[in-house]
Amino acid sequence: MADLPDTKRRIVERLKRVESATATDLAAEFGLTDTALRQHLDALEDGGMVTRSMAEPAGRGRPPVHWQLAPAATEAFPDRHGELTVDLLGSVRATLGQRALDRVIAARSDRQVATYEQSLAGSTQLGDRLQRLADIRSEEGYLAEARADDGAYLLIEHHCPIRDAATACSALCTAELDVFQRVLGPTVKVTRVQHVLAGDRRCAYRVEPATT
């Protein structure tokens, strides 16, 4: 949002407050000509920030074009979900105790395992299963990839969307390692070899056949 020029930022903020508005309405509000305002809207549309729709005809003449925020524009506004998550974790720990927090994390892990196992059902080759797992993690925001590595595999996550929460509660990282082990099964061993919270640029997990 801070990257937007002042007029475009004010247009986006205004559209956030209403369901939609016409260029004429916005021009009058901001003291601009219709032409100048439409130029701003066209630029915002090209940037994926706004969309247009045609209103229902009302009498003669061309129906007015209504403008509204595009879903991508939501990212331009402050998002404090990370701060909220950290606060909630601290509140659970302070109010109910560490044991209760551990149960909450365990329940989350069980849901993850169930979801991942369902998605991996039908894949029997380890490489295929890891690739599918990487795809799922990427959908969750981890920017993950799977690659072969000297007789084993690496599951690499280039981004951590829960970093703030994991910093406040390291048990989340321990739980994720356990989730991978449970999902991939007892025939493999999963070891974390890089860790963002340890100062590495990414998290990486080595997956190799378990020794008997």
Q: Which tens digit of pLDDT belongs to each residue from 151-184?
A: 899 999 999 988 888 998 999 999 999 999 999 9
Q: What is the pTM of this model?
A: 0.67
The listed CATH number (3.40.800.10, 1.20.120.640, 2.60.40.10, 1.10.10.10) that belongs to domain 6-76: 1.10.10.10
Rounded CA separation 94/115 (Å)? 30
- Residue 31 — left, alpha, or beta (φ > 0 → left; ψ -120 to 50 → alpha)? left
Q: Are 2 and 12 a contacting pair, CB within 8 Å?
A: no
pLDDT of residue 41: 95
Tell me which of 2-6, 22-26, 130-134 is least confident: 2-6
Closest CA to 178 of 164, 192, 165: 192
Listed by start position, the domains of the chain span 6-76, 81-209
* Helix, strand, coil percent values for the chain (each to nearest 5): 55, 20, 30
What's the CATH fold of domain 81-209?
A: Muramoyl-pentapeptide Carboxypeptidase; domain 2 (3.30.1380)
